[in-house]
Amino acid sequence: MKKFHFPLERVLAFRRLQRDLERAALEKAQGEVRRIEDLAEEVRREAESTALDVINRSADEPLDGTQLSGLDGYQHYLQRVARDVEVHRRRAEAAAAEQRQKLVEAERRMKVLDHLQDRAREQWKHALAKEVEDLAAEAFLARRVREGPPG
């Protein structure tokens, strides 16, 4: 009997490639979310550090009006940056969720073909077993014919 051949093997290989590409895109999207989260943490630490510097400095020497105004402007700037980073984080998380759905769909399409291949392989194995059984029966009968009737 001929060896097992799945007629949709090339399609299955293509579906696996698509799944791998979607997985790589998801990893990239998740990396972007982490990068933005790191940036948000950096902005938060900068705001805390600035506030602590003001508290520590005020105890040693008071700030004049120009310094207070500059500090207030810087704190507003950090708040705007934090809001912008939060918007980017939400967008990146939405993109990652969308990419996760694409990966799930790619895996589903691949698993359908995997299942078909498994069924085809089982049918092939069954046909092979039947062929071996038929050959064994033929060999048995041929030997019986050569040996003659039992006697």
Q: Over the chain (151 residues), what is each successive 10-residue block's mean pLDDT?
A: 90 97 98 97 92 73 78 90 96 98 97 96 95 92 82 57
pLDDT of residue 68: 76
Q: Give a yes or no: residue 31 inside a domain.
A: yes
- Residue 37: which of 90, 75, 95 has the closest Cα? 90
pLDDT of residue 20: 98
Q: Give a yes or no: residue 150 inside a domain.
A: no
Concatenating the DSSP letter of every residue in the chain gives: -PPP--TTHHHHHHHHHHHHHHHHHHHHHHHHHHHHHHHHHHHHHHHHHHHHHHHHHHHHS---HHHHHHHHHHHHHHHHHHHHHHHHHHHHHHHHHHHHHHHHHHHHHHHHHHHHHHHHHHHHHHHHHHHHHHHHHHHHHHHHHHH-S--
pLDDT of residue 151: 57
Q: Give a yes or no: residue 1 inside a domain.
A: no
pLDDT of residue 109: 96
Q: Give a yes or no: residue 50 inside a domain.
A: yes
Domain count for the chain: 1
pTM for this structure?
0.74
